[in-house]
Amino acid sequence: MSEVVHPGRGSMRLMRTRDETVYLKMSKALLRAVGRDSRDPGRVEADVELFGDRWTEAVPSAPAVQRGIHMCEVWKQLPTELDEGEEIPEGELVSQNGRRLWAFTERTGDTASSLYITAGEPATVHKFRVTGGEFPFTAVFSDYGGPVGASHPPAEDALTREELQAAYRQRGTTG
């Protein structure tokens, strides 16, 4: 499971269970922030009422879900060895909540992307943060090597794809 916090906008959680079912949960604040400039306010509030702070069974191939899964697997993007002549990027040793971390930051225009890796063995990704730019966020990773505890949320806390399709049909929309 991962949680992505968008400062001043809200948060989103993504969970993939052992049977590869994917669930998405967006805060009411994030739904309002995302829809504020692009949609009818009545439609935004209807979405907040339907989806806000509820688990929704997601379509794994949907682009937003794929981006979330990609974020959960950020560790797979890290090189395991350097190419000939390649140097280790300059990192800064920092301490956060009593944890020693190596911080690596890359800047592009007004956007800074920072990757925090534990300063021990085995090195693991602890946090990924993007500041500036259009969509700043922070994703924190934990419990490496522990059992995967993600299971389906209780039925009363989740919307199935069938329930979503029925709600969209009732509203006369496709989502």
- The per-residue pLDDT for range 117-162, each reduced to its tens digit, is 888 777 788 888 889 988 788 888 776 666 666 678 888 888 888 8
- Residues of the chain with pLDDT below 70 are 64, 68-83, 85-89, 143-150, 173-175
Asked whether residue 108 is domain-assigned, the answer is yes
Q: Which pLDDT score, from 0 to 100, does residue 111 have?
A: 92
Domain annotation covers residue 152: no
pTM for the full predicted model? 0.62
| Per-residue model confidence (pLDDT) at position 158 | 86
56, part of any domain: yes
Q: What is the pLDDT of residue 74?
A: 58
What pLDDT sits at residue 110? 93
Residue 23 lies in a domain: yes
**Structural domains in the chain (count):** 1
Contact 135, 6 (CB under 8 A): yes
Is 104 a member of any domain? yes
- pLDDT for 175 equals 54
pLDDT value for 55: 92
Which domain covers residue 62, as residue numbers?
2-78+88-145+157-171
Query: Is residue 83 one of the residues assigned to a domain?
Result: no
- The Cα 41–Cα 45 span in angstroms is 6
